A = this chain, B = another copy of it.
Amino acid sequence: MSRKILVPVDGSPLSRQALEHSLEEFEDATVVALHVLDPSEPGYSTPTPVDVRTEPPQGSEEWYERAHEEEESVFEEVREIAAEYDAEVTTESTTGEPSREIVDYAEENDVDHVVIGSHGRTGPTRLLLGSVAEVVVRRAPVSVTVVRDVEAL
């Protein structure tokens, strides 16, 4: 039976690298790209810059509509990367607090390994590990690879 690798994606450069890492290192695995719509954090789920002055209210119908459009562009990129590697990647979407959704997904879907970027879209900071990755490493029921952007350090 093929192993199932979970890669949380948010359209950030490091989530792209995490997906590439998965496709390079886990050949013959089933790769699932999971995007989490986070109504409490508009910046997390949107790859384009957010203008707070024109931003629809978080969690509103309009917000979800736009978030789903953004998500579609994240998944489009996932499919492009998969095509480059001549691989198939399943896309999944869920809504909630990202680290919790990622851990829950891993628990409930027989995931064998999680590959996650050390940071989401907020990019490298003084800290080397973002909060989502940190919680996932702490709580995931399976082995986790944290992909770090060596170039950016």
Instruction: Spell out A's residues near B (CB within 8 Å).
Output: 21, 25-26, 118, 127-129, 134, 137-148, 150, 153
Contacting residues, chain B, for A118 (C-beta < 8 A): 143
Give A139 to B146 CA distance when docked, in angstroms: 12
Whether A144 contacts B148 by the Cβ 8 Å rule is yes
Whether B137 contacts A146 by the Cβ 8 Å rule is yes
| This chain: copies in complex | 2
A25-B25, A146-B146 in contact; A141/B153 too (CB < 8 A)?
yes
**Can you offer 9 A-B residue contacts whose CB atoms are under 8 A?**
A25-B26, A127-B138, A128-B138, A129-B137, A141-B150, A142-B148, A143-B147, A144-B145, A144-B148
**Closest chain B residue, CB of each to CB of A147:** B143
A128-B138, A128-B139 in contact; A145/B145 too (CB < 8 A)?
yes
Give A153 to B73 CA distance when docked, in angstroms: 37
Whether B144 contacts A146 by the Cβ 8 Å rule is yes
Give A145 to B134 CA distance when docked, in angstroms: 13
Contacting residues, chain B, for A143 (C-beta < 8 A): 21, 118, 145-148, 150
Give A52 to B153 CA distance when docked, in angstroms: 44
**Closest chain B residue, CB of each to CB of A112:** B150
A15 to chain B, nearest CB (A): 13
